[in-house]
Structure 1
């Protein structure tokens, strides 16, 4: 907004008022037409039942208010030459936003068949909420959108994410008053504390209070204005009020909205000028518009003797039985004709000039902004060579490193390399240093605009590490940042990633839908680093122990989701380098922050991660002469890998004649059949890794049934036995966590003896010795408060 011109003095001219009202009426007509009509789009003849859709779907209640906002944002953008976009938060505002993009021509630009004429209008109407058509929400199919309307609560965080590192961008964000009751939205108000007026753009929240949700009043709409203003000022906003009512003079409401937007734009421009030119450091108070409109504004006032406009009854379809009820059909025709479509569209259905008088041109149109199609803006990340950060590995298990601490060095270099272009951020809920990523602070601080005390560390008004104790807000920021063409990483304690389960679900759905649209260019992937994980949360206890986020993710679209469990430091570097280069994916990387044995050199890690799953020949006791192993010990995750290798070492000493194969899995989707996932293994390759006639003991990082679900169609599945987390947790020692869940090395050796034919008798003494160690372990930790010496001091090479 640095180039914004001052607002024109005085009130709107009569010509401006006429044009704005014409555009708004046209948008309302198109919105209602989408809900009801499948023919006769210009009302060239009286409405008949066959002109009406057989199933009436969609939502009218919020649409006229959103159309009003679209109309006035057009004027603001055009008059001031702004670079702007809008995040449409209300869940059911699709008809209004589709109408706005059809009027500004961006819809026909993306879908040439839906042209700006009668034929295109008919198709616009017919396709809405119709089989083979478009959804009723603002969705990926909607030009100019980065936010699915059904994602209640995420709009404001998405808007701030879009504004980060976009200094010349104004992001308007319409917040529905039902949406404003959600936890994610409530936390997102705190984003003002993190928005840098020098390097970031501006967010203009428009709190749209129409009074009702589906069937109940909304909280903020019923607050007295003094209390509402106090709440919003506390969040760092100066509210500007626009109140509209049915029957208000159109000139009055348009003048009020135009004045509010001009005032807001002036204040934003002054805040940015003071910060950028004068170096003003005080936290600004950003403008916000409170727009009060009746729910179902301009729609039917009464239906079947009951009030509709201005009530919850207008939320969806105000006239529900138009095909069957002649009175409803009459009311619908009267309602549609009240917009005077003959004044708005010519005989060919094209918008008349006054309708388009305030519509911006080219990429400044809300439906055409490249910021809402971030794949056209995204650039490759300047990732540094991994050789700079890889740890030396002379022999497997000879050294230990903290994987995420080493990764922090890579991220610091990447953050430094993007210092000028500012298109990479790391977000997380107050855990960056806890997750051993503190090297990032050598390149940038933590974003912060509030008071700074002498005891604070690493806070910076221009920082690009984002920390707030709200996983919802972190996720929303990052999604908005990625969808507008940038890159990022979400670092989180593993157990608390579940807080954003529904948000990642929606983002995966967005990516899946967007990938089917040729005009939407691929965006950078949403990358999770889950650390402080279940097996090393022994000190925080049961509440911090839950590895199930990957289960949720792997339920989703195979085209979109990937899950990686690197077993050591170098493999984590390789996986991180890979996921940061991908597009249109949700990548989940689970890696520990505690000291972990180094198993692979960088070259070995590259080869192993490229395979996704492979045999570690150095760890097993196979002959290598083409004979099948007696048993396969498989593992996925750093702690399970250590326990499997410890079990393999025990078997090597106790049962040297046993042929043991060790298989490590990095890419969990490799376990799926190739017909089910792009990374899935063909059956022949899977059977070569896991011979169908041999028992497989699989030590898995998370819940055991996930492995069964991924591999249930494989020939080996009847002989597959999985150990993993089974909800046995507490504050205890690290090794006791694996013992409690039967994932420990001694239990794995017992599983081998139980499942390899003939060993139950011949190796009974070994099995008893393993059970005895487990018993001794329980006594030892209760007496000493630490793990057995042979466990605490264990190493592969020792």
Structure 2
């Protein structure tokens, strides 16, 4: 081994991690736990099928069956088994534990278990633990106006939307960071394990510090099939699978079988051993003399039949243990035999032994569940707003760029923000409730000032030339946007705060993840017991207009369109034109709750326009006329802009217009909050019509220079009175490795094009259009020749300064 390489070996936990405890359950406890599992399975089947007759007090009829059978049975019995066993672990060891359920549509099982433990009824009093409550429980599932078939915001104890696969393990680690007493049980479906996001998530254990973080217990649930195909990890053999998981840094314990009593004992023994291992890791790391060695964290591989305890044969075809058990095993009730088969299936759980005549869960089984906040359905970590503490934030004004006049100083906006974030990190180190997330780009994005306060979290090898790595660091860097997003979501959903900085073009990798989080936030707004959490804050930099050196692969502002499609209750988009506006916007976003905030700002030194007081006023309104750049009175043309480079080009276009047409009257309008363009009826940030009309006019041409795709401005402003006057320039998909100014030229966003646009649309200047068009093309020819010969922009562009 290279002597210069610090390669921390895996810690020896001083327990035998290969052999689980044998038969830890007494006969009585085994029977009671098995009964609890039967009850959960019965309630799960009932939710999928029944609208009435919940206790089977009479033979089933077609009137008892839902007309639309929706839901997923295949994964549910395995989830029920895990939940029952985690309950035992919580009770016996007084654990603080939540469960994250990766298998997408295991909703009936988690709803059933939270109902059995009482947390569901506490959140939804109409679903009481009685015959009537059980009927309402069944009827609401996948019913119009009811609840979805997957684990969702409506499900007590959940911080993980089960509708899309791949993010459970990242969410689990996000929840565990800075939660030293929390254990997160994370069930990973073998179908979900095939996703790229989940495959990367195994590496999260290299960022989990047992001295200060909680623990994640991954439970890989192999039931063998997806919707219609076998799963990869179920078909590669235990030896290969174990090697894979050990390579990820875990020690797997295998539990498998189809005999419930044997599986109960195996799983209980594995969980006891795993918990011993977790506690040993944490005890050593938190001792007076920790070894500093990276632990090999334990996990469980649970292999059970898909659709376990369900019908084995339907219409002569095998169901249990096959892909046919994935959704609704018995679906066609035109065949009377199917009704008999469903009733036999339901009666196989012997509900009369589990529930009394009034429908209440019998106490000898119910007493197995934890109580109070120890119940996973009532744990406050799964309703993070209950635990959230506000950030201690510095006065952002103290980090402002001093400015004597517009355009007098150049500064890098994100570097200015980095100074603010450094102080914010320092103020919150003791509270351990703020982290910065990004895919290997913190320094690239000019936020490296935070390293003066805290390093980058790192538990793996350290080489001689590594910098700013620290086991107790609070900057989370890994080259996976999925992991950064998943960690941050888990962190926010358990009551903490964070910021995700990313190259603008590559944030698209998490498009579907932000969809799910935005939907979660929207749904929770209508759930009274869900408390608000800190907003999901994005800082997008290294943006499209300053990626000229990297070429078209790094040029895409389309995330703005994607977020703008989210509900107005949640989506916020900010385009600060300079560093002081960025400070104001960032401070606002870090203080906000229940939003998805997108901030786009450049990292290169650019001219600064507003003092900090002016910036605060401007950002508070969201848009405004820049009087210092505008002519008095009614304008001939409005030059509007949103984004730092479009603002630069707009101000330069204003100076060109005054040079070309000395008597022209120009108004410059800058937009910081993109949502002000929408009417108030569409978005709460929308300017009222009178303010919008006063700013943009209703009868004058508006040349709008926009950071992103032009269609987004039209879509947001289409209902405004003067929208027909809007002519929007923005990114149109043109880009290569070239100079900064040539990038805007290629997309017709340059100052010369904007000036010509204005002249073409001012009626009294119609006779000047031919000459100005010729002037424009002559300039373009000169620009192209200079760029090709010199590899740089024209001096009058490169050295341009604002002047009036």
Q: Are 1:429 and 1:471, in contact at CA under 8 Å, matched by a contact in 2?
A: yes
SS state at 2:450 partner = helix
Partner residue in 2 for 1:299: 310
1:290 and 2:314 correspond? no
1:314 and 2:320 correspond? no
* Higher mean C-alpha deviation, range 127-136 or range 685-694: 685-694
Structure 1 residue 763: Cα displacement: 5.7
Which of 763, 770, 778 in structure 2 is aligned with 1:772? Answer: 778
SS state at 1:87 partner = strand
**Deviations along 1:624-650, whole A, 9 cap, x unmatched?**
4xxx21100000000000000001011
Tell me how far apart the structure 1 counterparts of residues 167 and 300 of structure 2 sit (CA, whole Å): 18
Q: Are 2:98 and 2:185, in contact at CA under 8 Å, matched by a contact in 1?
A: yes
Tell me how far apart the structure 1 counterparts of residues 777 and 592 of structure 2 sit (CA, whole Å): 46
Q: Are 1:398 and 1:797, in contact at CA under 8 Å, matched by a contact in 2?
A: no
**RMSD between superposed Cα atoms in Å:** 1.2
Q: Are 1:749 and 1:767, in contact at CA under 8 Å, matched by a contact in 2?
A: no
Tell me how far apart the structure 2 counterparts of residues 647 and 515 of structure 1 sit (CA, whole Å): 44
Q: Are 2:22 and 2:265, in contact at CA under 8 Å, matched by a contact in 1?
A: no
1:123 and 2:136 correspond? yes
Q: Are 1:690 and 1:716, in contact at CA under 8 Å, matched by a contact in 2?
A: yes
SS state at 1:580 partner = helix
1:97 and 2:113 correspond? no
Partner residue in 2 for 1:669: 675
Which of 478, 484, 505 in structure 1 is aligned with 2:488? Answer: 478
SS state at 1:288 partner = strand
Structure 1 residue 446: Cα displacement: 0.4
Tell me how far apart the structure 2 counterparts of residues 309 and 167 of structure 1 sit (CA, whole Å): 40
Tell me how far apart the structure 1 counterparts of residues 272 and 323 of structure 2 sit (CA, whole Å): 32
**Deviations along 1:537-588, whole A, 9 cap, x unmatched?**
0011110000000100001111000000000000000000000011000000
Tell me how far apart the structure 2 counterparts of residues 672 and 362 of structure 1 sit (CA, whole Å): 46
Q: Are 2:752 and 2:776, in contact at CA under 8 Å, matched by a contact in 1?
A: yes
Tell me how far apart the structure 1 counterparts of residues 365 and 638 of structure 2 sit (CA, whole Å): 72
Structure 1 residue 482: Cα displacement: 0.2
Q: Are 2:257 and 2:263, in contact at CA under 8 Å, matched by a contact in 1?
A: yes
Which of 176, 197, 215 in structure 1 is aligned with 2:228? Answer: 215
Where do 1:154-553 residues align within 5 Å? 154-245=167-258, 248=259, 250-277=260-287, 278-322=289-333, 324-553=334-563
**Deviations along 1:665-686, whole A, 9 cap, x unmatched?**
0000000011111111222221
Tell me how far apart the structure 2 counterparts of residues 747 and 772 of structure 1 sit (CA, whole Å): 12
Scaled by the length of structure 2, the TM-score of the pair is: 0.97
Q: Are 1:747 and 1:771, in contact at CA under 8 Å, matched by a contact in 2?
A: no
Structure 1 residue 759: Cα displacement: 1.2
Scaled by the length of structure 1, the TM-score of the pair is: 0.97
Q: Are 1:22 and 1:354, in contact at CA under 8 Å, matched by a contact in 2?
A: no
Partner residue in 1 for 2:54: 41
Q: Are 2:709 and 2:730, in contact at CA under 8 Å, matched by a contact in 1?
A: yes
SS state at 1:588 partner = strand
1:733 and 2:743 correspond? no
Partner residue in 2 for 1:135: 148
Tell me how far apart the structure 2 counterparts of residues 437 and 448 of structure 1 sit (CA, whole Å): 18
SS state at 1:747 partner = helix
Tell me how far apart the structure 1 counterparts of residues 649 and 262 of structure 2 sit (CA, whole Å): 73
**Deviations along 1:433-491, whole A, 9 cap, x unmatched?**
00000001011110100010110000011111000110001000000000000000000
Tell me how far apart the structure 1 counterparts of residues 461 and 794 of structure 2 sit (CA, whole Å): 48
Partner residue in 2 for 1:3: none
**Deviations along 1:337-385, whole A, 9 cap, x unmatched?**
0000001001111111222232111001010000010011111111100
Structure 1 residue 797: Cα displacement: 3.6
Where do 1:653-732 residues align within 5 Å? 653-732=659-738
Tell me how far apart the structure 2 counterparts of residues 766 and 318 of structure 1 sit (CA, whole Å): 73
Structure 1 residue 387: Cα displacement: 2.2
Q: Are 1:177 and 1:207, in contact at CA under 8 Å, matched by a contact in 2?
A: yes
SS state at 2:184 partner = strand
Tell me how far apart the structure 1 counterparts of residues 435 and 590 of structure 2 sit (CA, whole Å): 12
SS state at 2:220 partner = strand
SS state at 2:324 partner = helix
**Deviations along 1:81-118, whole A, 9 cap, x unmatched?**
00000100001100000000000000001000001111
Where do 1:558-573 residues align within 5 Å? 558-573=568-583
Structure 1 residue 713: Cα displacement: 1.4
**Runs of 4+ deviating beyond 3 Å:** 6-10, 762-767
Q: Are 1:702 and 1:724, in contact at CA under 8 Å, matched by a contact in 2?
A: yes
**Deviations along 1:401-425, whole A, 9 cap, x unmatched?**
0000010011111111111111000
Structure 1 residue 758: Cα displacement: 2.5
Q: Are 2:98 and 2:379, in contact at CA under 8 Å, matched by a contact in 1?
A: yes
Tell me how far apart the structure 1 counterparts of residues 116 and 532 of structure 2 sit (CA, whole Å): 27
Q: Against the structure 1 CA distance between its residues 15 and 420, is the aligned structure 2 distance closer, same or farther, given a 3 Å change threshold?
A: same
Q: Are 1:18 and 1:354, in contact at CA under 8 Å, matched by a contact in 2?
A: no
Q: Are 2:78 and 2:304, in contact at CA under 8 Å, matched by a contact in 1?
A: yes
**Deviations along 1:584-630, whole A, 9 cap, x unmatched?**
00000000000011100010000000110110011012x24xxx211
Tell me how far apart the structure 1 counterparts of residues 778 and 713 of structure 2 sit (CA, whole Å): 29
Tell me how far apart the structure 2 counterparts of residues 211 and 386 of structure 1 sit (CA, whole Å): 54
* Higher mean C-alpha deviation, range 216-225 or range 645-654: 645-654
Structure 1 residue 767: Cα displacement: 4.1
Tell me how far apart the structure 1 counterparts of residues 696 and 584 of structure 2 sit (CA, whole Å): 25
Q: Against the structure 1 CA distance between its residues 9 and 331, is the aligned structure 2 distance closer, same or farther, given a 3 Å change threshold?
A: closer
SS state at 1:221 partner = coil
Tell me how far apart the structure 1 counterparts of residues 786 and 303 of structure 2 sit (CA, whole Å): 67
Tell me how far apart the structure 1 counterparts of residues 691 and 315 of structure 2 sit (CA, whole Å): 67
* Higher mean C-alpha deviation, range 777-786 or range 646-655: 646-655
Structure 1 residue 10: Cα displacement: 6.4
Tell me how far apart the structure 1 counterparts of residues 290 and 418 of structure 2 sit (CA, whole Å): 32
SS state at 1:680 partner = coil
Partner residue in 2 for 1:152: 165
Partner residue in 2 for 1:557: 567
SS state at 1:758 partner = helix
Structure 1 residue 325: Cα displacement: 2.2
* Higher mean C-alpha deviation, range 760-769 or range 364-373: 760-769
Partner residue in 1 for 2:5: none
Q: Are 1:19 and 1:356, in contact at CA under 8 Å, matched by a contact in 2?
A: no
* Higher mean C-alpha deviation, range 21-30 or range 679-688: 679-688
